[in-house]
Amino acid sequence: MQLITRQEIPKDHLYYRTSSPIYKKYLELSNLKTIPVWYNQFWWLKSILWIFNVAKFERIDEEPNIVKLKQNWFKRWFVIWVPYTRIDIPRWWKRLLINSYFTTTWFTILETEDYYKKWKERAKRARKKFLANPDLTIKELNTFDFQKIYKEAKISQPFKWAFMKYHKDASNLDEKWEIRNFVCFLWDSPIAWLAVLDYNWNSSAHLVSFITKEWKQNQAWTWLIDYWFKSSLEKNIKYINFDHLRDKFMTWDQQWYTDFKENFMDYKVVFPDSYFKIV
Protein backbone atom coordinates (compact mmCIF):
# COMPACT_ATOMS: atom_id res chain seq x y z
CA MET A 1 0.00 0.00 0.00
CA GLN A 2 1.42 3.34 -1.08
CA LEU A 3 0.70 6.81 0.25
CA ILE A 4 0.14 9.22 -2.63
CA THR A 5 -0.59 12.92 -2.79
CA ARG A 6 -3.95 14.28 -3.87
CA GLN A 7 -2.34 15.50 -7.09
CA GLU A 8 -1.49 11.89 -7.96
CA ILE A 9 -5.11 10.66 -7.85
CA PRO A 10 -6.05 9.43 -11.35
CA LYS A 11 -8.05 12.09 -13.17
CA ASP A 12 -10.85 9.69 -14.04
CA HIS A 13 -11.34 8.50 -10.45
CA LEU A 14 -13.67 10.75 -8.43
CA TYR A 15 -14.51 10.49 -4.76
CA TYR A 16 -18.04 9.13 -4.70
CA ARG A 17 -19.68 11.41 -2.16
CA THR A 18 -19.29 14.37 -4.47
CA SER A 19 -19.91 12.56 -7.74
CA SER A 20 -22.64 9.97 -7.10
CA PRO A 21 -26.16 10.96 -8.19
CA ILE A 22 -27.52 8.63 -5.51
CA TYR A 23 -25.64 10.42 -2.74
CA LYS A 24 -26.84 13.75 -4.12
CA LYS A 25 -30.45 12.54 -3.90
CA TYR A 26 -29.79 11.19 -0.41
CA LEU A 27 -28.67 14.63 0.78
CA GLU A 28 -31.81 16.15 -0.71
CA LEU A 29 -33.88 13.53 1.12
CA SER A 30 -32.15 14.76 4.29
CA ASN A 31 -33.48 18.29 3.65
CA LEU A 32 -30.26 19.64 2.15
CA LYS A 33 -30.29 21.64 -1.06
CA THR A 34 -27.69 20.61 -3.64
CA ILE A 35 -26.24 22.85 -6.33
CA PRO A 36 -24.33 21.44 -9.36
CA VAL A 37 -20.76 22.60 -9.96
CA TRP A 38 -19.56 20.65 -13.01
CA TYR A 39 -19.89 17.15 -14.40
CA ASN A 40 -21.32 15.07 -11.50
CA GLN A 41 -19.95 17.24 -8.73
CA PHE A 42 -22.12 19.37 -6.46
CA TRP A 43 -22.15 21.27 -3.21
CA TRP A 44 -24.88 21.43 -0.60
CA LEU A 45 -26.41 24.04 1.63
CA LYS A 46 -28.52 23.98 4.76
CA SER A 47 -30.52 26.68 6.48
CA ILE A 48 -30.48 26.77 10.28
CA LEU A 49 -33.63 28.30 11.75
CA TRP A 50 -33.97 30.37 8.57
CA ILE A 51 -31.38 32.73 10.00
CA PHE A 52 -27.97 31.22 9.35
CA ASN A 53 -26.83 29.13 6.39
CA VAL A 54 -24.11 26.52 5.98
CA ALA A 55 -22.68 25.71 2.54
CA LYS A 56 -20.21 22.86 2.02
CA PHE A 57 -18.00 22.30 -1.02
CA GLU A 58 -16.49 18.85 -0.41
CA ARG A 59 -13.56 17.60 -2.51
CA ILE A 60 -14.08 20.25 -5.17
CA ASP A 61 -11.15 22.18 -6.63
CA GLU A 62 -13.14 25.16 -7.88
CA GLU A 63 -13.16 27.96 -5.31
CA PRO A 64 -16.66 28.62 -3.94
CA ASN A 65 -18.22 31.64 -5.60
CA ILE A 66 -19.03 33.87 -2.64
CA VAL A 67 -20.53 36.61 -4.82
CA LYS A 68 -22.99 34.15 -6.32
CA LEU A 69 -23.89 32.83 -2.89
CA LYS A 70 -24.70 36.30 -1.62
CA GLN A 71 -26.67 37.21 -4.72
CA ASN A 72 -28.91 34.16 -4.82
CA TRP A 73 -29.43 32.97 -1.25
CA PHE A 74 -29.44 34.24 2.31
CA LYS A 75 -26.78 36.70 3.41
CA ARG A 76 -25.47 35.08 6.59
CA TRP A 77 -23.16 32.25 5.51
CA PHE A 78 -20.67 29.83 6.97
CA VAL A 79 -18.89 28.35 3.94
CA ILE A 80 -16.74 25.19 4.20
CA TRP A 81 -14.39 24.23 1.38
CA VAL A 82 -12.52 20.90 1.17
CA PRO A 83 -10.28 20.95 -1.95
CA TYR A 84 -9.85 17.75 -3.94
CA THR A 85 -6.39 18.02 -5.52
CA ARG A 86 -5.76 21.74 -5.21
CA ILE A 87 -3.16 23.06 -2.74
CA ASP A 88 -2.86 26.72 -3.85
CA ILE A 89 -5.59 28.06 -1.61
CA PRO A 90 -6.50 31.73 -2.39
CA ARG A 91 -6.19 34.42 0.26
CA TRP A 92 -8.87 35.10 2.87
CA TRP A 93 -9.73 31.44 3.40
CA LYS A 94 -9.06 30.31 6.98
CA ARG A 95 -8.12 26.76 7.96
CA LEU A 96 -10.93 24.94 9.76
CA LEU A 97 -9.52 23.15 12.81
CA ILE A 98 -12.72 21.29 13.69
CA ASN A 99 -13.19 18.19 11.56
CA SER A 100 -16.14 18.40 9.15
CA TYR A 101 -15.46 15.42 6.88
CA PHE A 102 -13.60 12.12 6.58
CA THR A 103 -9.96 12.87 5.85
CA THR A 104 -8.59 9.47 4.78
CA THR A 105 -9.53 7.09 1.98
CA TRP A 106 -7.91 4.22 0.10
CA PHE A 107 -8.50 2.78 -3.33
CA THR A 108 -7.19 0.03 -5.58
CA ILE A 109 -6.97 -0.34 -9.34
CA LEU A 110 -8.38 -3.43 -11.05
CA GLU A 111 -6.01 -4.30 -13.88
CA THR A 112 -6.03 -8.09 -14.39
CA GLU A 113 -7.79 -11.23 -13.19
CA ASP A 114 -4.84 -11.73 -10.83
CA TYR A 115 -5.85 -8.69 -8.77
CA TYR A 116 -5.51 -10.74 -5.55
CA LYS A 117 -1.76 -11.14 -6.10
CA LYS A 118 -1.38 -7.52 -4.96
CA TRP A 119 -3.05 -8.26 -1.62
CA LYS A 120 -1.15 -8.74 1.61
CA GLU A 121 -0.14 -12.30 2.46
CA ARG A 122 -2.79 -12.56 5.19
CA ALA A 123 -5.56 -11.84 2.67
CA LYS A 124 -4.07 -14.27 0.14
CA ARG A 125 -4.10 -17.04 2.75
CA ALA A 126 -7.68 -16.23 3.69
CA ARG A 127 -8.71 -16.38 0.04
CA LYS A 128 -7.20 -19.85 -0.32
CA LYS A 129 -9.01 -20.98 2.81
CA PHE A 130 -12.49 -19.98 1.66
CA LEU A 131 -11.91 -21.29 -1.87
CA ALA A 132 -11.31 -24.68 -0.30
CA ASN A 133 -14.50 -24.52 1.78
CA PRO A 134 -17.50 -26.01 -0.11
CA ASP A 135 -19.90 -24.94 2.65
CA LEU A 136 -19.59 -21.24 1.79
CA THR A 137 -21.65 -19.54 -0.92
CA ILE A 138 -22.34 -15.96 -1.98
CA LYS A 139 -25.64 -14.64 -3.32
CA GLU A 140 -26.39 -11.29 -4.89
CA LEU A 141 -29.75 -10.09 -3.55
CA ASN A 142 -32.20 -7.23 -3.95
CA THR A 143 -32.56 -4.60 -1.25
CA PHE A 144 -35.61 -6.16 0.40
CA ASP A 145 -34.04 -9.61 0.81
CA PHE A 146 -30.67 -8.16 1.85
CA GLN A 147 -32.30 -6.23 4.69
CA LYS A 148 -34.81 -8.94 5.59
CA ILE A 149 -32.10 -11.58 6.07
CA TYR A 150 -30.02 -9.18 8.13
CA LYS A 151 -32.91 -8.24 10.42
CA GLU A 152 -33.77 -11.89 10.97
CA ALA A 153 -30.17 -12.60 11.99
CA LYS A 154 -30.64 -10.35 15.06
CA ILE A 155 -27.05 -9.11 15.11
CA SER A 156 -26.02 -6.55 17.71
CA GLN A 157 -23.77 -3.93 16.08
CA PRO A 158 -23.07 -0.26 16.87
CA PHE A 159 -25.11 2.10 14.68
CA LYS A 160 -26.90 -0.92 13.16
CA TRP A 161 -30.20 0.81 12.51
CA ALA A 162 -28.56 3.99 11.24
CA PHE A 163 -26.61 2.01 8.63
CA MET A 164 -29.70 0.00 7.71
CA LYS A 165 -31.72 3.18 7.19
CA TYR A 166 -28.90 4.69 5.13
CA HIS A 167 -28.79 1.58 2.95
CA LYS A 168 -32.57 1.50 2.52
CA ASP A 169 -32.88 5.21 1.72
CA ALA A 170 -30.01 5.10 -0.78
CA SER A 171 -31.43 1.95 -2.40
CA ASN A 172 -34.85 3.58 -2.78
CA LEU A 173 -33.15 6.34 -4.78
CA ASP A 174 -31.24 3.89 -6.98
CA GLU A 175 -32.94 4.22 -10.37
CA LYS A 176 -30.07 2.74 -12.41
CA TRP A 177 -29.38 -0.37 -10.28
CA GLU A 178 -26.01 0.97 -9.17
CA ILE A 179 -26.17 -0.56 -5.68
CA ARG A 180 -25.18 -4.22 -5.46
CA ASN A 181 -25.89 -6.39 -2.39
CA PHE A 182 -23.88 -9.51 -1.53
CA VAL A 183 -24.52 -12.01 1.28
CA CYS A 184 -22.20 -14.84 2.31
CA PHE A 185 -23.85 -18.03 3.62
CA LEU A 186 -22.39 -20.86 5.69
CA TRP A 187 -24.66 -23.69 4.55
CA ASP A 188 -28.02 -21.88 4.75
CA SER A 189 -27.06 -19.38 7.45
CA PRO A 190 -26.01 -15.82 6.51
CA ILE A 191 -22.78 -14.74 8.18
CA ALA A 192 -21.68 -11.57 6.33
CA TRP A 193 -23.24 -8.79 4.24
CA LEU A 194 -21.70 -6.23 1.86
CA ALA A 195 -23.40 -3.53 -0.23
CA VAL A 196 -21.44 -1.47 -2.77
CA LEU A 197 -22.23 1.54 -4.91
CA ASP A 198 -21.11 1.71 -8.55
CA TYR A 199 -20.67 5.23 -9.90
CA ASN A 200 -19.01 7.36 -12.56
CA TRP A 201 -19.08 4.33 -14.94
CA ASN A 202 -15.64 3.18 -13.75
CA SER A 203 -15.69 3.03 -9.94
CA SER A 204 -17.29 1.07 -7.10
CA ALA A 205 -17.34 2.11 -3.44
CA HIS A 206 -18.07 0.38 -0.13
CA LEU A 207 -21.53 1.40 1.10
CA VAL A 208 -22.38 -0.73 4.18
CA SER A 209 -21.30 -4.07 5.63
CA PHE A 210 -22.43 -6.31 8.48
CA ILE A 211 -21.01 -9.42 10.13
CA THR A 212 -21.79 -12.25 12.54
CA LYS A 213 -19.44 -14.01 14.96
CA GLU A 214 -18.88 -16.79 12.40
CA TRP A 215 -17.47 -14.54 9.68
CA LYS A 216 -13.86 -14.47 10.89
CA GLN A 217 -13.17 -18.18 11.25
CA ASN A 218 -14.64 -18.74 7.77
CA GLN A 219 -12.96 -15.71 6.13
CA ALA A 220 -16.38 -14.57 4.92
CA TRP A 221 -15.51 -10.91 4.52
CA THR A 222 -12.44 -11.69 2.47
CA TRP A 223 -14.61 -13.78 0.19
CA LEU A 224 -17.15 -10.95 -0.15
CA ILE A 225 -14.36 -8.56 -1.07
CA ASP A 226 -12.95 -11.05 -3.57
CA TYR A 227 -16.43 -11.43 -5.07
CA TRP A 228 -16.75 -7.62 -5.22
CA PHE A 229 -13.40 -7.31 -7.00
CA LYS A 230 -14.09 -10.13 -9.45
CA SER A 231 -17.63 -9.05 -10.36
CA SER A 232 -16.47 -5.42 -10.74
CA LEU A 233 -13.73 -6.50 -13.13
CA GLU A 234 -16.39 -8.28 -15.19
CA LYS A 235 -18.36 -5.01 -15.30
CA ASN A 236 -15.25 -3.18 -16.59
CA ILE A 237 -14.97 -1.23 -13.34
CA LYS A 238 -11.46 0.09 -12.84
CA TYR A 239 -11.39 1.52 -9.31
CA ILE A 240 -12.42 0.00 -5.99
CA ASN A 241 -12.87 2.55 -3.20
CA PHE A 242 -13.26 1.57 0.45
CA ASP A 243 -14.61 5.03 1.33
CA HIS A 244 -13.43 6.62 4.59
CA LEU A 245 -11.01 4.95 6.95
CA ARG A 246 -10.05 5.74 10.50
CA ASP A 247 -8.32 9.07 10.99
CA LYS A 248 -7.30 11.00 14.11
CA PHE A 249 -10.85 12.26 14.59
CA MET A 250 -12.40 8.78 14.79
CA THR A 251 -12.57 6.42 17.77
CA TRP A 252 -10.16 3.50 18.21
CA ASP A 253 -12.90 0.92 17.71
CA GLN A 254 -12.69 1.76 14.00
CA GLN A 255 -9.03 0.71 13.78
CA TRP A 256 -9.55 -3.04 13.38
CA TYR A 257 -11.75 -2.50 10.33
CA THR A 258 -9.22 -0.08 8.86
CA ASP A 259 -6.45 -2.64 9.40
CA PHE A 260 -8.57 -5.26 7.64
CA LYS A 261 -9.22 -3.02 4.62
CA GLU A 262 -5.51 -2.31 4.29
CA ASN A 263 -5.00 -5.91 3.13
CA PHE A 264 -6.61 -5.12 -0.23
CA MET A 265 -5.63 -1.56 -1.05
CA ASP A 266 -3.09 -0.11 -3.47
CA TYR A 267 -3.13 3.57 -2.52
CA LYS A 268 -3.87 5.70 0.52
CA VAL A 269 -4.93 9.34 0.09
CA VAL A 270 -5.25 11.97 2.81
CA PHE A 271 -7.25 15.19 2.59
CA PRO A 272 -5.70 16.99 5.56
CA ASP A 273 -7.15 20.48 5.29
CA SER A 274 -10.49 22.21 5.05
CA TYR A 275 -11.13 25.94 4.94
CA PHE A 276 -13.92 28.31 5.80
CA LYS A 277 -15.28 31.81 5.37
CA ILE A 278 -18.01 33.67 7.24
CA VAL A 279 -19.84 36.06 4.91
pTM: 0.89
By the 10 Å C-beta count (0-12 exposed, 13-18 middle, 19+ buried), 258 is classed as: middle
Angle subtended at Cα 114 by Cα 20 and Cα 206, rounded to the nearest 5 degrees: 25
- Three-state DSSP class for residue 59: coil
Contact 60, 37 (CB under 8 A): yes
Q: What is the pLDDT of residue 253?
A: 65
Tell me: do 70 and 129 sit in the same domain.
no
Partners of 204 in the β-ladder:
198, 240
- Domain count of the fold of the chain: 2
Tell me: do 200 and 133 sit in the same domain.
yes
Tell me: do 136 and 216 sit in the same domain.
yes
Rounded-to-integer distance, Cα 75 and Cα 120, Å: 52
Q: Which domain holds residue 84?
A: 2-103+273-278
Tens-level pLDDT at each residue, the chain (279 residues): 788 888 899 989 988 888 888 999 999 998 888 888 877 788 888 877 667 788 999 889 989 988 877 776 666 788 999 999 888 988 889 998 876 667 888 899 999 999 999 999 999 998 998 888 889 899 999 999 999 998 888 776 767 788 889 999 999 999 888 999 999 998 988 988 999 999 999 999 999 888 777 666 667 888 899 999 999 999 999 999 988 776 666 666 667 677 888 889 999 998 888 899 988
Q: What is the pLDDT of residue 74?
A: 63
Nearest to 155 by CA among 211, 71, 238: 211
| Domain assignment of residue 263, yes or no | no
Tell me: do 147 and 96 sit in the same domain.
no
Rounded-to-integer distance, Cα 174 and Cα 240, Å: 19
If one counts every other C-beta atom within 10 angstroms of the C-beta of residue 176, the result is 9
| Domain assignment of residue 171, yes or no | yes
Using only C-alpha atoms, what is the Rg of the chain?
20
Tell me: do 19 and 57 sit in the same domain.
yes
If one counts every other C-beta atom within 10 angstroms of the C-beta of residue 237, the result is 20
Partners of 208 in the β-ladder:
195
| Domain assignment of residue 86, yes or no | yes
Write phi, then psi, for 182 (nearest 5 degrees). -120, 140
Which CATH number characterizes residue 226's domain?
Answer: 3.40.630.30
Q: Residue 154: which region, alpha, beta or left (left: phi > 0; alpha: psi -120 to 50)?
A: left
Tell me: do 79 and 139 sit in the same domain.
no
